[in-house]
């Protein structure tokens, strides 16, 4: 299952011939990752991972490749396996194997057995630092419980859902090394949800439908971080935005920001385009489809397909057909058509290009800096799940500002004293 | 010092002849206080304060008058004294005394002795519930330590600085009843800082200068809640906005929101109008005045006059004179003029009309609902400082939405179950 | 009726003691008139009006004073009379007389006889150049038909309505000298309507009502230049904006800009604040008042009070009373209150501060430059009404940009050739 | 060269097997063409083209197909030939031939001889009404001068450049029938330039680069209709926008809209993304490339590739390579990279999807209504080039509003009288 180039590392990729295409994409993504560029310079100088084994289980994308290269340049013996059988970019994998001699295990569409075997390869790497997205590698290490498990200094975890499960494990005394939940950094939250999802969701709608957004009425279910980002961008493209919410404080904020706030039942009759980002299920269901205008567009940008009752839509319609890539038409008995994008799955991930490299830059800079921190401090941490520290958040933001040549002010000594004593001041 | 109308309550106001003018202003403000209107209806029905003594020490304004009337209509024996010798609206005080027979103590410009005596009157009221802004009445009760101090069910406190001091007192075991810090509600924070300060600061600048904002370059020092609100409004009026910050995460957010982010040293050469809301001192100082363009406008909307080094400005200038109400011109030796608004004090409070009634509505609805809560639960609380509960935040937001006839969605039972189990879902 | 300081010019003002106050206001306005500052420098050097008599009939405001000083500094023997018996700022008039020795005729509240006599003084000045606002002086010159009427090189006219009447006169062969309609410059149109009315209308509403604009639904009747400006500013302050129109192309533009477009009949039930800028009469009438929400605010920012059917409102209400300066409350039989601002007259002019100096700067720079042009070219023009030339528009815009230190690009010779031949290019 | 299905019309398309794919795309586009839908209903009822021959020479796209079907449903004997050898969508052509039995002549990539022969087929159709884009068919009719040329009632022309040439021809007495320049309608101008180019240009940049727009500095050369649209959308996506201009009035408007205005020389050092829409040549040239930041993105959305000096860029760079579809990297000697999109050709047309169907809807509804008008009035018109009448503009806007279920107000008789007499009113 594993191939080996003479005098080189083992790997398992689809086709080395794809390497050149992958290389161009990796390099292009790196242009949009100035924070990671800054981290890389720092790592080259400091060699924080010298002689350490690092294993990563991530989606194999151009951005991930740049994280791998950055860690390697910091001295790490790095190994990468795929975090899903379906997400590997085979050209990127090929380039990592061929041009960077990096042990990489991942093939798009691989079977479950292959996928497991690839994770086994990562376990066998005996990592001292673990980088994970979805808890596959952390779980495998605990399940197979190798002799050297006690040597693991710590892990980073990308997924917020996994962070919750790991907290349960820690509470029950099952966690064997500290984990830092990268999803809980402020920089990541702002970039992923507000700016990332905002742009990528509208972009996916325009790509799949070809519609002009200006002049449309656009309904957003949910005014959390993603909802705010999408509302901001939809207005920026000329839509009249309606927000629905179950939380009155959020509803009030939407209202004060100049959006219309209605119940979904009222909004259903008005919308040209509907986007769900509520974090809940069936926020648009059968009672709403009946009120939809002809030609209404329906999509989800929340994590779960459950936000839209797609089964209810199918059963309410008397026929359905695909009319464009990622666009399915449902014909209602009264002659109206409803268009569902990407089968209700996250439209920006499925039908668009996912997060821009500039957004992943923030995530992966967090992973890299947390990994460096774990080398230094992991041994002294408890076997628990930690958030990213404010200091690290600041460092990520600083590197981004430096990359953009933006200078900000520093507190003077007098100002620091003033702040320390501020309760004294009028 | 106290006057008494036959068969009526004692009071101390400037001139009862002002009552009619005050009445119109109180009624007008009530129009813009829909949340308090909702609370009042609820109080009239439920009589939560029946037979209870309530004393309030607040700035005597039309909005405060409406809070007093609301509490009275809820059954309270209410007494009001001024929270500052300088802020009383004498017409409002006159109306409360004359038309509402409410014991009210406050005269604009009163001496320190009078001010103290007015607080004494509130102490003598033997309140079971206390409403405070700046901790004057809570302090007096503790200092004079009356026999019935143990009967106080609790207090509400408006000022965030006082909340901090009260927490110190509680930690040292000195606090004798529970206090709820109203400033720490989400609704209040959003309304006061983002929407309130945003509109009122720009409004004050337009009133004092008569300037057209469109086409100007406007520099905002600080991107906290107030800074964001002001930036949003300044852009909304057509300004090109520059933000300065010391915190890299906030700086990055400003940048991602499309504002320019610079050091104050760079911004100093570009701005037409400067506004400080940093929470720090001397964020604009002598090194910046030297770089200012001719005719630059300078003002502060943060809590403290210390944000601008006004002494440094005075010593750098060779002459100064008042050229309009709240506008002072400083002539520099090289011929440039710099204009300081409101002597560096909070320009929206001093030179504008302060917070709109619609903003105070949120604060005072919080006070009223917290007071109701303290009647029920005060006895079971610890002698500590509490934040406003999320439930109360929700209630305030709900009342506001109802007043605006805005309907929002409710969770179905199935949705509630889904959320409770969300870690299970993909 | 006319007073004379020893060795000085005759004048007629209310009280010379007001001069110092007036002086400060004139100087402050001048700070906000950078274009006129540039024109003044140019005039001081070129002396275009040397030995010429110029008479102006304008509203006597700080901005007008600066135009007078600018013309005087260009060599003109200038005389100013009031364009209305009600608009003179007596402090400004006093300063012009006392500090600038300028013959000025105007007293706020003067009788019709005085007003006429003041215009007579301007006729008697035997002007070679005339500056007019409302056609009073141009008419007087034609009616009294003095011997030297043929010596008039030309006039400028501020009012668009007067321009129309003058065109009728010219067509009938009655006009005796050329007139340039300053209202028809592009710079003036943009500044006055879009940016001027936009800011000043919202400002007037906030001042008169004290309301928070964020979160309100604001209805604008008419989407011409003023309506666009107001819509832009209302959205910028956080309102949800509804537009009503009779013109489908404008309605469509409003829609594409992300505003809601409804009939007034639908909008009447939704609005918190209504603003008319349609240029028509009774765009809000009795059938709409019946649908208004309680506490709706109603005002006009168009030229004519006729936009709102105020008589209809009065007869629909069973009582009315003034509740704040410029705010009248109409009580309907069903208990609803409707608030009319400024009696339906232009709310920004009546209840606000009118146009900012920065807006008048554009108008008056146009007058000054057109006057210079008339000195050179007036004799060769026909006795007709002319628009401002694009060249002069450009010059005004250029001076404004220079005053703001904004550099723009210039066409290269190659680019000019390219544009001249553009039909040739693909 | 022409094929014929039994009992059906002749045609020349690439492959009838593509018809099904084309059909879906035609139907999808029709969903976004509500104005044309309204026109079609009207045509079906009125049959304005009964027994008339109509020939169209247009880009063969899904939107064009819908115009053809609409005209056919109005009774026309319609024939379509391609307006360019490179723009035909072969699937659309196949569907028109197969499913609609429409004589259609166009194959993507056809030779010049074929292209001419296809236009000959249109000439041979002996059209009484002509629909043209780029003047190919109008020219051919004049050149070949067939006997029945005098029977042509009139033509519509899409291209603004062709309109100018036709005006020259008309002036020289060469034009043999009236032509209406559809590009000169207000609705078309607003949709194409402001909303169409605004969205599609930003969309194309995101697609080709994958970049996050929020937080970038985006430089737009030119503030005409396209520039305004792009600036609006770029700000809406979170960019900080800089405008460069040569026209001071436009520069001033950009400034008053809150954008920064700089010379290109200054902007060159600041921009992350540059977009040219100036209508001129070499607005970004060698002197600017030298100042660009590393990784700057450069593209054109104006009509002509000449806006950017791409030859100057090539000669300044020491190497170039394609790094992504439509993205070429130029490496400068000092190590900086500059990225040119779509080789400087209109990025939204070449690298994006061109105008959304909702934009073409406006254009083609104009063509259809003008064609109907020419049937009625063409004979009485002069042999000249006409703009679209305001009435037709209104009709297009009305149909769009109706399709969106938007109701607007109508003038009452009293209001019409008021407007007719408005010079009388104060």
pLDDT at position C188 over 60: yes
Range name among B270-284, C228-242, C341-355, D386-400 with the lowest pLDDT average = C341-355
Per-residue pLDDT tens for B140-164?
A: 999 988 888 989 999 999 988 788 8
Q: Identify the H or E element spanning A289.
A: helix A286-289
* C-alpha triplet A303, A309, A315: angle, nearest 5°: 150
Cα Rg for chain C, rounded, in angstroms? 24
A:D CB pairs within 8 Å = 100
Q: Write the burial class of residue D322 (CB in 10 Å: 0-12 exposed, 13-18 middle, 19+ buried).
A: exposed
Per-residue pLDDT band for D6 (boundaries 50, 70, 90) equals very low
Q: Name the β-bridge partners of C54.
A: C78, C129
> Do B108 and B84 belong together in one domain?
yes
- Which pLDDT score is estimated for C234? 98
Q: C34 vs chain B: nearest CA distance in angstroms?
A: 11
CB contact under 8 A, D357 and A238: no
Which residue's entry shows tokens 């910028």? Answer: C236
Structural tokens at position A311: 């089964």
Confirm whether A416 is domain-assigned.
no
- Which pLDDT score is estimated for D162? 86
Per-residue pLDDT band for D302 (boundaries 50, 70, 90) equals confident
> Do C364 and C342 belong together in one domain?
no
Confirm whether B192 is domain-assigned.
no
Structural tokens at position A221: 């279910």
Which residues 200-229 in chain D show a CB within 8 A of chain A? 203, 206-207, 210-215
Nearest CA in chain D to C413: D281
Residues of A in contact with D31 (CB under 8 A): 295, 337
Range name among B170-184, C223-237, C368-382, D347-361 with the lowest pLDDT average = D347-361
Confirm whether D190 is domain-assigned.
no
B197, B223, B408: best to mutate for the A interface, most A CBs within 10 A: B408
Q: Identify the H or E element spanning D142.
A: helix D136-144
D190, D212, D229: best to mutate for the A interface, most A CBs within 10 A: D212
Strand pairing class (C337-341; C3-4): unpaired
Per-residue pLDDT tens for D135-168?
A: 999 999 999 888 888 899 999 999 887 888 899 8
Instruction: For residues B62-91, give the mean pLDDT.
Output: 95
In this complex, is the C-beta atom of A248 within 8 Å of any C-beta atom belonging to chain B?
yes
Per-residue pLDDT band for B72 (boundaries 50, 70, 90) equals very high
pLDDT at position C352 over 80: no
- Which pLDDT score is estimated for B250? 94
> Do C14 and C58 belong together in one domain?
yes
Residue environment code for A307-335, b if the CB has 16+ CB neighbours within 10 A, otherwise e: bbbbebbeebbeeeeeebebbbbbebeee
Listed in sequence order, the residues at least 6 apart from A91 whose beta carbon sits closer than 8 Å to its beta carbon are A18, A19, A21, A22, A25
Structural tokens at position D87: 């723009």
Nearest CA in chain B to C195: B214
Nearest CA in chain C to D393: C249
User: Nearest CA to A215 among A238, A244, A232?
Assistant: A238
Pair D272, D205: CB distance under 8 Å = no
Q: Name the β-bridge partners of D346.
A: D300
In this complex, is the C-beta atom of D235 within 8 Å of any C-beta atom belonging to chain A?
yes
The order of strands in the sheet holding D154-157 is D104-105, D77-82, D53-58, D129-132, D154-157, D179-181, D385-387
Listed in sequence order, the residues at least 6 apart from D59 whose beta carbon sits closer than 8 Å to its beta carbon are D82, D83, D84, D87, D88, D133
CA distance D289 to D340: 11
Which residue's entry shows tokens 């209605």? Answer: A262
The DSSP annotation for B121-180 comes to: HHHHT--SEEEESSSHHHHHHHHH--GGGGG--EEEE--HHHHHHHHHHHHTT---S-EE
Pair D177, D378: CB distance under 8 Å = yes
Nearest CA in chain D to B235: D258
CB contact under 8 A, B239 and D258: yes
Q: Which residue has the higher pLDDT, B306 or A128?
A: A128
Residues present in chain B in total: 426
Q: C354 vs chain A: nearest CA distance in angstroms?
A: 27
CB contact under 8 A, B251 and A397: yes
The domain spanning residue C176 has which CATH number? 3.40.50.1480
CA distance A7 to B180: 70
C-alpha dihedral, C387 to C389 to C395 to C397, nearest 10°: 60
Percent of chain C with pLDDT over 90: 77
Confirm whether C278 is domain-assigned.
yes
> Do D376 and D398 belong together in one domain?
yes
Per-residue pLDDT tens for B14-36?
A: 999 999 999 999 999 998 899 99
Per-residue pLDDT tens for B219-252?
A: 999 999 899 999 999 999 999 999 999 999 999 9
> Do C152 and C234 belong together in one domain?
no
In this complex, is the C-beta atom of C257 within 8 Å of any C-beta atom belonging to chain A?
yes
> Do D383 and D238 belong together in one domain?
no
In this complex, is the C-beta atom of C266 within 8 Å of any C-beta atom belonging to chain A?
no
pLDDT at position A5 over 80: no
Half-sphere exposure of B171 (CA within 13 A, CB side): 6
Q: Name the β-bridge partners of D179.
A: D155, D385
Cα Rg for chain A, rounded, in angstroms? 24
CB contact under 8 A, C199 and B207: no
Percent of chain D with pLDDT over 90: 77
Residues of A in contact with B190 (CB under 8 A): 249, 252-253, 256
Confirm whether B412 is domain-assigned.
no
> Do D268 and D164 belong together in one domain?
no
> Do B14 and B161 belong together in one domain?
yes
Classify the C-alpha dihedral C22-C28-C33-C39 as positive or negative. Answer: positive
Instruction: For residues B345-357, give the mean pLDDT.
Output: 84
Per-residue pLDDT tens for C222-272?
A: 999 899 999 999 999 999 999 999 999 999 999 999 999 999 999 999 999
Q: Identify the H or E element spanning D104.
A: strand D104-105
CA distance A261 to A252: 8
Per-residue pLDDT tens for A249-278?
A: 999 999 999 999 999 999 999 999 999 999
- Which pLDDT score is estimated for C416? 85
Confirm whether D273 is domain-assigned.
yes
Helices (H), A90-247: 90-98, 112-124, 136-144, 160-171, 186-189, 197-209, 225-236
The DSSP annotation for C134-157 comes to: SSHHHHHHHHH--GGGGG--EEEE
CA distance D43 to C160: 44
Chains contacting B (3+ CB pairs below 8 angstroms)? A, C, D
DSSP state for residue A241 in the 8-state scheme = E
Helices (H), D261-346: 264-267, 286-289, 310-316
CA distance B56 to B51: 16
Domain count, chain A: 2
Structural tokens at position D245: 């201009």
Residues of A in contact with C239 (CB under 8 A): 258
Residues of B in contact with A397 (CB under 8 A): 248-249, 251-252
The domain spanning residue C345 has which CATH number? 3.40.50.720
Mean of all residue pLDDT scores within chain C: 91
Structural tokens at position C207: 């001042």
pLDDT at position A6 over 90: no
User: Nearest CA to A238 among C220, C217, C255?
Assistant: C255
Per-residue pLDDT band for B191 (boundaries 50, 70, 90) equals confident
Strand pairing class (C240-244; A10-11): unpaired
Which residue's entry shows tokens 């109907």? Answer: D372
CB contact under 8 A, D210 and A237: no
Instruction: For residues B171-188, give the mean pLDDT.
Output: 91
Residues of C in contact with B199 (CB under 8 A): 206, 212-214, 237-238
Confirm whether A418 is domain-assigned.
no
> Do A176 and A215 belong together in one domain?
no
C-alpha dihedral, A23 to A25 to A27 to A31, nearest 10°: 180
Residue environment code for D264-298, b if the CB has 16+ CB neighbours within 10 A, otherwise e: bebbbebbbbbbbbbbbbbbbbeebbeebbeebbb
> Do C110 and C143 belong together in one domain?
yes
CB contact under 8 A, A237 and D233: yes
User: Nearest CA to B169 among B379, B384, B382, B386?
Assistant: B384
Per-residue pLDDT tens for A51-102?
A: 999 999 999 999 999 999 999 999 999 999 999 888 899 999 999 999 999 9
In this complex, is the C-beta atom of D394 within 8 Å of any C-beta atom belonging to chain C?
yes
CB contact under 8 A, A28 and D211: no
Confirm whether D411 is domain-assigned.
no
In this complex, is the C-beta atom of A38 within 8 Å of any C-beta atom belonging to chain D?
no
Instruction: For residues B362-367, give the mean pLDDT.
Output: 94
Nearest CA in chain D to B234: D258
> Do C72 and C28 belong together in one domain?
yes
- Which pLDDT score is estimated for D3? 54
> Do C107 and C43 belong together in one domain?
yes
How far, in Å, are B250, B294, D211, D219, D288 from residue D270 at the CA level? 22, 25, 17, 8, 11
Give the pTM: 0.92
pLDDT at position B310 over 60: yes
Domain range enclosing B239: 197-350
């Amino acid at each position: 299952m594993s191939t080996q180039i003479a005098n080189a590392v083992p790997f398992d990729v689809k086709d080395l011939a794809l390497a050149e295409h992958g290389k161009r994409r990796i390099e292009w993504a790196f242009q949009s990752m100035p924070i990671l560029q800054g981290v890389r310079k720092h790592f080259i100088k400091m060699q924080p991972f010298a002689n350490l084994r690092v294993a990563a289980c991530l989606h194999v994308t151009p951005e991930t490749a740049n994280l791998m290269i950055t860690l390697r340049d910091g001295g790490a013996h790095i190994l990468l396996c795929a975090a899903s059988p379906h997400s590997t970019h085979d050209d990127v994998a090929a380039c990592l194997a061929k041009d960077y001699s990096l042990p990489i295990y991942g093939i798009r569409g691989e079977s479950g057995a292959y996928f497991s075997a690839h994770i086994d390869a990562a376990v066998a790497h005996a990592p001292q630092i673990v980088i994970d997205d979805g808890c596959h590698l952390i779980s495998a290490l605990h399940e197979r419980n190798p002799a050297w498990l006690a040597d693991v200094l710590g892990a980073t975890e990308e997924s917020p859902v996994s962070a919750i499960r790991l907290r349960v494990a820690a509470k029950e005394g099952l966690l064997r090394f500290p984990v830092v939940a990268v999803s809980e950094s402020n920089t990541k939250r702002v970039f992923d949800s507000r700016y990332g999802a905002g742009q990528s969701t509208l972009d996916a709608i325009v790509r799949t439908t070809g519609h002009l957004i200006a002049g449309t009425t656009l309904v957003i279910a949910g005014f959390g971080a993603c909802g705010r980002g999408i509302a901001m961008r939809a207005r920026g493209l000329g839509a009249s935005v309606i927000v629905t919410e179950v939380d009155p404080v959020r509803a009030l904020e939407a209202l004060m920001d100049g959006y219309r706030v209605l119940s979904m039942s009222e909004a259903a009759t008005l919308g040209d385009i509907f986007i769900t980002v509520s974090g809940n299920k069936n926020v648009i269901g059968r009672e709403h489809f009946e009120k939809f205008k002809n030609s209404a567009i329906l999509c989800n940008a929340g994590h779960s397909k459950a936000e839209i009752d797609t089964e209810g839509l199918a059963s309410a319609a008397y026929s359905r057909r695909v009319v464009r890539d990622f666009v399915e038409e449902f014909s209602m008995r009264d002659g109206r058509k409803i268009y569902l994008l990407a089968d209700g799955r996250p439209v920006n991930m499925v039908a668009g290009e996912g997060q821009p490299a500039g957004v992943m830059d923030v995530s992966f800079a967090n992973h890299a800096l947390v990994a460096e921190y774990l080398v230094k401090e992991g041994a002294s941490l408890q076997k628990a799940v930690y958030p990213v520290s404010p200091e690290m958040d600041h460092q990520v933001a600083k590197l981004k500002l430096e990359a953009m040549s933006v200078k900000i002010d520093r507190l003077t000594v007098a100002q620091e004293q003033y702040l320390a004593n501020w309760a004294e001041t009028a």
